[in-house]
């Protein structure tokens, strides 16, 4: 991601990243951040397909016969039991960003990070990210990581779970605020790790990892999940734990030094 250099008042932060501020109408529409409502056991009222049926632009149109439109999320067994919820405008926005990313030759993933005032529950601002792996030649530029980087740089913090007014580069009405993340798709292990390291308070996603793995989409994390369950000696790449005399120097210096812990 290359930061924008053209600054325009509050539209861009000091690093040049665009910050999305609400207009007065948008503030009136969604003043308070609310949790999407959990769905019960009745699956009859789930997920209406929006009817989006893009034309086939593959080299051979016959491919469309083996790559049909998918109309329901794949949710085998009880993997998502207890977390299924009604989608809201932010979940839809993350999915719109993912579709727009494909239209711009990026990857089919989008994310939105909201900053929420702790005292009032007001949504203060938001950042968006899309998958930029092929656009920036950066295999770590997944949508969630891009959005996290933008929010952290804009706010001047590395902890998005507890943003103090005195530490933030951007104005906030209360003494503390926090961020939550919406993703168009269930985060991969790398992105989930980034979300946890950023200490984001809440995660909401739409499509599942099983949707991302279907034929024609082809983003399966299954091999990673399987590798995590294996000892290093049985994983899919050469891995060695190297014994060198200075391997603990950084840790010994760290624990005996004044530092900013994270």
Which residues belong to the active site?
A: 144
Provide, for the chain, the percentages of residues in helix, strand and coil under a 3-state DSSP scheme, each rounded to the nearest 5: 30, 15, 55
Going along the chain, which residue ranges are E strands? 20-21, 110-117, 123-130, 163-164, 176-185, 203-207
Distances (CA, A) of 217 to 152, 209, 212, 214: 30, 11, 6, 6
- What is the Cα–Cα distance from 139 to 24, expressed in whole angstroms? 38
Q: If we measure between CA atoms, which residue out of 143, 142, 141, 139 comes closest to residue 127? A: 143
Give the total residue count for the chain: 262
């Amino acid at each position: 991601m290359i930061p924008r250099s053209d600054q325009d008042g509050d539209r861009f932060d000091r690093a040049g990243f665009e910050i999305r501020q609400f207009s007065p109408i948008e503030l009136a529409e969604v003043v308070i951040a609310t949790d999407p409502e959990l769905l019960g056991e009745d699956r009859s009222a789930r997920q209406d397909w929006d009817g989006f049926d893009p034309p086939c632009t593959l080299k051979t149109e016959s491919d469309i016969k083996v790559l049909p439109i998918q109309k329901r999320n794949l949710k085998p067994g009880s993997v998502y039991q207890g977390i299924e919820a009604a989608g809201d405008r932010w979940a839809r926005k993350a999915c719109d960003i993912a579709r727009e990313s494909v239209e711009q030759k990026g990857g089919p993933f989008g994310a939105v990070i909201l900053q929420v005032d702790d005292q009032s529950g007001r949504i203060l601002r938001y950042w968006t990210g899309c998958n930029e792996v092929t656009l920036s030649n950066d295999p770590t530029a997944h949508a969630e990581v891009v959005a996290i980087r933008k929010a952290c740089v804009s706010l001047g913090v590395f902890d998005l779970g507890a943003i103090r007014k005195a530490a933030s580069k951007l104005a906030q009405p209360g003494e503390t605020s926090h961020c939550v993340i919406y993703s168009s798709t269930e985060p991969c292990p790398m992105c989930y790790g980034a979300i946890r390291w950023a200490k984001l308070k809440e995660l909401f996603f739409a499509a599942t990892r099983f949707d991302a793995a279907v034929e024609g989409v082809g983003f399966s994390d299954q091999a990673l999940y399987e590798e995590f369950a294996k000892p290093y000696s049985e994983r899919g790449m050469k891995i060695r734990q190297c014994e060198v005399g200075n391997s603990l120097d950084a840790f010994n210096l760290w624990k005996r030094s004044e530092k900013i812990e994270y």
